[in-house]
Amino acid sequence: MSAPQVSPASNRSAAAPRRGAAAQRANTSPLARLGLHTDWDVALHLPLRYEDETRLTPLSALRDGAVVTVEAVVVDAQVQGRAPRRQLLVRLSGQSPHERLTLRLFHFYPNQRKVLQPGVRLRVHGQVRHGLFGWEMVHPAWKVVEAGTPLPTVLTAVYPTTAGVAQSVLRKAVAAALERLDWRDTVPPQELARHRLPALQASLRLLHAPPPEALASLEAGTHPAQRRLKFDELLAQQLAQQQARAQREQWRAPSLQRAAGQTDLVARLQAALPFRLTAAQQRCVAEIAADLARPLPMHRLLQGDVGSGKTVVAALAAAQAIAAGWQCALMAPTEILAAQHARKLADWLQPLGVRVAWLSGSQSKTERGAALALVASGQAQLVLGTHAVIQSQVRFARLGLAIVDEQHRFGVAQRLALRDGLRAGLQDSALQPHLLMMSATPIPRTLAMALFGDLDVSTIDALPPGRTPVRTTLLAAGRRDALIARVAAQVAQGRQAYWVCPLVEESEELDLQNAVAVHAELGAALAAVPRAPAAAPLRAGLLHGRMKAADKRAVMQAFAAADIGLLVATTVIEVGVDVPAASLMVVEHAERFGLSQLHQLRGRVGRGAAQSDCVLLFTPPLSPTAAARLAAMRDLADGFALAQKDLELRGPGELLGLRQSGVPGLRYADVAHDADLLAAARDSARRLLAADPAAARQHVLRWLGEAGNWLSA
Ligand code: ADP
Ligand code: MG
């Protein structure tokens, strides 16, 4: 019998306490050990699966492997073998004496053995096997019954539990809790009607004791009662997010209106760009522009696949803020990326008269002091850097807009600190700056809603024209030498390539390639390529996380200028690096990377008009998941399709490292499969907050406890 879908995913234990610091900490009752403290906790502790004991199967109708309930009479019972392999063999007979069934019981008490006297009638539930000695059941559930004892009319619930808490204890506790509960439904009837959902009380009662005919839909996870529970859970989550958002809307921000006419910085920047914005970029620019013009702080995520052109959208937003007389800060997670942004944005905006300052952890004291003074005086209009930009010494004169690139690379704690840091950095703290976050990790819409219900999302859903899709090849590590020779030959002909290794230092344990050794190896291969006497020597560059920032920058610049043809790197190049001429990406031990990481890496090529290639080197044997991941990389180009695949392969909990991100886990709903319910919950949450805030609050309390009360946080 497979687990019905509404039960908590087995790896995400429902037994874990939902409210860590529950008041009843001292309470060590069996229920408390399962984290069940209140009647609601108990009522929401849903069965893992069900057993159907509502029908008796005659011994004459047994089928091998079937799970059945039978009634039969004890013929004899005897102990066989010795401890620890002792077993009690109970022979039973059915309606006619030649219908036989043997039970093998491993754990039994002396008094149980005494009960099993010839002639006693047993009701037994378990799986039957046809063995050498006829029909057998190994360690079934059994009890003594009188002839004619009525059968249960509902399915028997089997609850998730840990050792020591018996099913019978849980069943009793659930029955008692269901009687005591205050069943006031926090979801108004019109919302239930709209989404065709049953009442909560009926749903919970059914889930704990369903009629046998419900079994199929329960196991499929489609029963209306299951949908009701998933809906309630999602509703609580959406309510909490929308409350947080409502709170933010109390805050004020500078209204960054665009000036009209030719002098408008935004228009001048657009006119100066070497390309035309795609329709998708234009739409995102307009969405952001409208937010910036409002006196409420923007809280928007700009997402778009790698290479979709988010930087220019950010630059246009920056131009709007600057034109309105405010400062703009742009932060990137790595120094390389920040430096690249600095160069690009400076190239675009400095010619238009914008003054730029650069802040990073690695600059000298004097450089930094000078930059800080420019920021504090308001002379620097655009401030670029790593998270050094939000450190406490940084004071902005008039910060109007903060842009965070690759926001998923910033931990949640950093993200929260960001807002506070920005507020502290403002001289007029009555106003909040607008916040634009950018992410190249495409998030399926359903998941984005679950994760970022309190964020507005703009999506660049098309790549700039003229891109040729990257050709992806999977190659077993046995062909590595041949690959090196080909790469060296192509680099000699002017192709630019990345070669990515997973770790910087030799780790015997993990047996990963050492970037330093690979660099030497590839350098030697390049040196061995025959060249014209006058030709410049071929060089391989090395880039890894332990290098000094200035050295990293120098290597990247040499690669961007094509002084270096081959760049051996660790995943420091994973996000954002933009060298349009590079057209070959090799990833070693590709099986050790996650899908989104591989997609990010592949996104470093295919940025120009040339045909680009991505070669994923793998070391067999592959686990089924790794094989599926690599096949997906070979077959899918679109980041959203890959993210969806990732969701299917890994489960939503692992995607984006959610577990450490502090997003409240969902116990029943699964955003990959319950998208319609998520949309319904989002929709209802909006109406409920407006129409009945008290019920909304009660709903959040019921489901999330005080933890859901983000309003006071
Ligand atoms: P990402 O979204 O990954 O941050 P970038 O902003 O780095 O992408 O843009 C990728 C490349 O595409 C850059 O070289 C950029 O100049 C270029 N680009 C951006 N928008 C367009 C466009 N509309 N037409 C042509 N090229 C564009
Ligand atoms: Mg980028």
Residue 662 has pLDDT above 70, yes or no: no
**Alpha carbon distance 619, 626 (integer Å):** 11
Residue nearest to atom 20 of ligand 1 (CA): 309
Q: Give the H or E element holding residue 460.
A: strand 456-460
User: Which percentage of the chain shows pLDDT scores above 70?
Assistant: 83
- Nearest ligand, CA 343: 1
Residue nearest to atom 15 of ligand 1 (CA): 309
Give 287 Cα–ligand 1 centroid separation in angstroms: 19
Give residue-wise pLDDT tens across range 266-294.
999 999 999 999 999 999 999 999 999 99
Give residue-wise pLDDT tens across range 215-260.
988 888 889 999 999 999 889 888 887 877 777 778 889 999 877 6
Domain that holds residue 410: 265-460
Residue nearest to atom 13 of ligand 1 (CA): 309
DSSP per-residue codes, 369-413: HHHHHHHHHT--SEEEESGGGGSTT--BSSEEEEEETTGGGS-HH
Confidence bin at 442 (pLDDT 50/70/90): low
Give 444 Cα–ligand 2 centroid separation in angstroms: 19
C-alpha closest to that of 223 among 204, 236, 248: 204
In the block, which residue shows the tokens 């299951």?
A: 226
- 245 in a structural domain: no
DSSP per-residue codes, 638-704: -HHHHHHHHHHHH-TTTGGGHHHHTPPPPSS--TTT-HHHHHHHHHHHHHHHHH-HHHHHHHHHHHH
**Alpha carbon distance 82, 86 (integer Å):** 5
- 251 in a structural domain: no
Same structural domain for residues 123 and 71? Answer: yes
pTM: 0.63
CATH of the domain at 146: 2.40.50.140
Residue 652: how many other CB atoms lie within 10 Å: 24
Question: Among 313, 578, 602, 604, which is best to mutate for testing ligand 1, by the most ligand atoms less than 8 A from CB?
Answer: 578
Which atom of ligand 1 approaches the CA of 310 most closely? Answer: 2
Residues 335, 388: contact at Cβ < 8 Å? no
- Nearest ligand, CA 278: 1
**Alpha carbon distance 516, 314 (integer Å):** 36
Last residue of a domain, one of 101, 136, 151: 151
Residue 319 has pLDDT above 90, yes or no: yes
- 288 in a structural domain: yes
- Nearest ligand, CA 308: 1
Give residue-wise pLDDT tens across range 564-578.
999 998 876 665 678
- Nearest ligand, CA 311: 1
**Alpha carbon distance 45, 39 (integer Å):** 10
653 vs 609, which has greater pLDDT?
609
Phi, then psi, of 670 in degrees rounded to 5: -135, 110
In the block, which residue shows the tokens 């976050």?
A: 437
- 134 in a structural domain: yes
Same structural domain for residues 475 and 456? Answer: no
Which atom of ligand 1 approaches the CA of 311 most closely? Answer: 6
pLDDT for residue 19: 40
Give residue-wise pLDDT tens across range 96-119.
878 999 999 887 777 888 899 999
C-alpha closest to that of 598 among 575, 577, 578: 575
Collapsed DSSP state (helix, strand, coil) of residue 25: coil
Last residue of a domain, one of 587, 609, 636: 636
Same structural domain for residues 490 and 563? Answer: yes
- How many separate domains does the chain show? 3
The conformation of residue 318, written as its DSSP 8-state character, comes to H
Taking CB atoms and a 6 Å cutoff, what residues make up the pocket around ligand 1?
A: 275-278, 281, 304, 306-312, 440, 464, 576, 578, 580, 607
Angle at 543 between CA 411 and CA 333, to 5 degrees: 20
Q: Give the H or E element holding residue 423.
A: helix 412-424
Residue 430 has pLDDT above 90, yes or no: no
Give 294 Cα–ligand 2 centroid separation in angstroms: 26
Same structural domain for residues 338 and 442? Answer: yes
- 246 in a structural domain: no
**Alpha carbon distance 131, 488 (integer Å):** 65
Residue nearest to atom 26 of ligand 1 (CA): 464
Give 305 Cα–ligand 1 centroid separation in angstroms: 11
Same structural domain for residues 72 and 105? Answer: yes
CA atoms within 13 A on the CB side of 69: 14
Same structural domain for residues 448 and 492? Answer: no
Cβ neighbourhood burial of 700 (10 Å; 0-12, 13-18, 19+): buried
